[in-house]
């Protein structure tokens, strides 16, 4: 099993209620439903390219800091 990172997500109450109801009716834990949705979102065509572009932008933004880490 890979490492697990726990985080808090905020959402409107009505969306949480819908999520909870969906999980209940599909007899799945909320965590499983949310994880499946995140994986589906990240797996959509073009998401990998978007993520790669965002990482490149962050590298450029923090280039000086990253370069100093090697010192």
| 17-63 per-position pLDDT tens digit | 999 999 999 999 999 999 999 888 877 766 777 878 888 888 888 88
| DSSP-derived 3-state class of residue 12 | coil
Q: Are 52 and 42 in contact (CB under 8 A)?
A: no
C-alpha–C-alpha distance, residues 30 and 7, integer Å: 14
**Which residues are within 8 A (CB) of 66 and not within 5 positions of it... i.e. 6 or more apart?**
59
Give me 16's structure tokens. Answer: 């949480």
Q: Are 19 and 34 in contact (CB under 8 A)?
A: yes
The structure's pTM equals: 0.59
């Amino acid at each position: 099993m890979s490492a697990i990172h726990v985080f808090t997500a905020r959402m409107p109450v009505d969306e949480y209620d819908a999520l909870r109801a969906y999980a209940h009716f599909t007899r799945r834990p909320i965590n499983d439903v949310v994880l499946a949705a995140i994986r589906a979102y990240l797996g959509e065509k073009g998401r990998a390219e978007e993520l790669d572009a965002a990482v490149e932008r962050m590298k450029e933004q923090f280039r000086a800091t990253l370069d100093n880490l090697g010192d």
